[in-house]
Every structure is written in structure tokens, then in C-alpha cells.
Amino acid sequence: MTVWDVSGFVGAWGYWPLKERTASDVVALMDANGIERAVVGSTRALQSDWRLGNDDVLAAAASSAGRLIPFVTIDSTLPANADLLSDYAAVGAKGVRCYPSMHYNTTPQQLEPLCAAAQANGLVVTLVMRPIMDWSFAVAAVGPFEYLFTQYPEVQFVLHGMNYGEETWNGIRLNNKHPNVWLETSCLQGLGGIAQLVAQADTDRILLGVGIPLQYPACGIAKLEKAGISASAREAIAHLNARRLFAAAR
């Protein structure tokens, strides 16, 4: 099974000892687990310096021979920062990750200029509920951001970080309601979670998230390999949907 991880990271990690810090570390981990390509954001941009983080992730992607797909992060509290997105797109960024649960000042209204810039530049917007499935991280409520899906219909939004229960149900509801909302699986740990998504959401807008190198690659891949779904659905989630998403992105 060919695998793309849409939920990867690159950079140092301050929460627990982690061996994989550099682009070559992440690519080696991908090789060891059969992951062909990974969308990566900068760990530095999670809580520290987003500009340096973007430099990190763009450099990492440039050194990876196409294995790493860079997403940048923008401090959205100043509307003018959104103008930088076109510069980042020009040097290879394929999307932008927004972390309302980590960047405490973020309001939905502050993301409007960013979404407008993403729409103008053909970039994917990932709305991160939680960066990884770790109980020490706060979880963002997606509800207040929903109007953005309608206001920017050409933007493809990826909901990142939903787990079981109401988070899954809400993700499915948004996927059904908005044709530009995609769901990823890196934090989806409930029994039969992927089968539930396939049964109730649009299979063509479900993306495999593994969360390398912060999460065990084997865990993210096993849940798709073992899911009680058709072979065609498995292939779509494993990589075909991601290929289509990024082929559509400029």
C-alpha cells in the first residue's frame, strides 16, 4: 500500500525525547515505514517563531527530493501577515496550517485574510483542532470557524486532529455539509473510526494522517490497513485523495 501522511512535522521537539529532528531523520523514518510522501509543518511554528519555522520547513522540503510537502504557518493576529502567503507559495509552500488551540489569540475573523490569500494562491488550509493526539494539548472547537468554509468556497480545508465521539460526528457533519472540507485521521483512535468515516462521510475527501515523526508511524498505518473497508477506499485514503488534493492546488 502506497502511503502519504498529510499530518507530518519537522523540527526539534520540546515535549519528550524524540530522535527524529531533521528532514533527513523524517525521511529515514518514512522509508522505514513505507511512507512515500508527507505533508510537513514546522514544530517551531507551533509555539515559537513562525517565520523561522517556515524557513525550516521550506528548507527541509527543498532538501527532500520531493518527499516532503511544506505547509507554512502565519501569525494571523496582524492582517498584513496574510500577504506573505503569496511569497511562501512562490517558493514552494502548498498550504497553511492554522492552530487556534495553540495560538491563543486566534479568532475566526483573524483567519479571513489568510483564507482569502489562500484562495488567491490556490493553497490548502489546514485547521488544526489538536496537533497530535496528546492529552496535554488543548482542543480547538471547530464550530466558530465553520462560516469560513462557505465564505471561501474555493479553498480546500483539511480538519486536522479529530478523535472519537462528538469530534468524529462533527467532522462527518462538516464533511457532508461542505464540499471543500476534508478529514484526516492522525488523531482518530476510536474503534472502527476509519470505517465509520467511509460509511458516513465522502470517502474521496478522507486523508490518511500519521503524524510523523511525533506519533508512531505503525499506529497510523495499522488503523487503515486493518479497517473494514473496500480496497478502493483504502487506496483512496492512503494516497490517491492526497494526490488529487495537491494536484489541484497550484
Partner 1 sequence: MIIDAHVHVGVSTAYNFSANADDLLRLADENGIDKLFVTDFTALVHDMREGNDTLGKAIRRHPDRLLGYVSIPTMNFDNGALEEIDRCVHEYGMRGIKIYSYPMIPLVRPSVFPVLERAASHRMPILAHSTGEECEVMASRVPEAFLMMAHSGNTALARGDWLRAVQAAERNPSLLLETASSAVNNGSLEYTISRIGAERVIFGTDMPLLEVSVQMARVSGAAISQAEKDLIFGGNMARMLACKA
Residue with Cβ nearer partner 1 (29 or 117): 29
Q: Pick from 193, 198, 206, 237: which binds partner 1 (CB under 8 A)?
A: 193
Site for partner 1 in 9-38 (CB under 8 A): 16-20
- In the shown chain, the binding pattern of residues 109 to 138 toward partner 1, with x for contact by CB under 8 A and - for none, equals -----------------------xxxxxx-
Residue with Cβ nearer partner 1 (62 or 139): 139
Residue with Cβ nearer partner 1 (41 or 113): 41
Distance (Å, whole) CA 71 – CA 53: 10
Q: How is the beta sheet containing 35-42 ordered, strand by strand?
A: 3-10, 35-42, 68-72, 95-98, 124-128, 157-160, 181-184, 206-207
Distance (Å, whole) CA 65 – CA 63: 6
- In the shown chain, the binding pattern of residues 48 to 87 toward partner 1, with x for contact by CB under 8 A and - for none, equals ----------------------------------------
What pairs with residue 124 in β-bridges?
A: 95
Angle between helices 217-225 and 23-32 (to 10 degrees): 40
CB of 198 to partner 1, least distance (A): 14
Distance (Å, whole) CA 58 – CA 68: 9
Residues that bind partner 1 (CB under 8 A): 16-20, 132-137, 163-165, 187-193, 211-223, 225-226
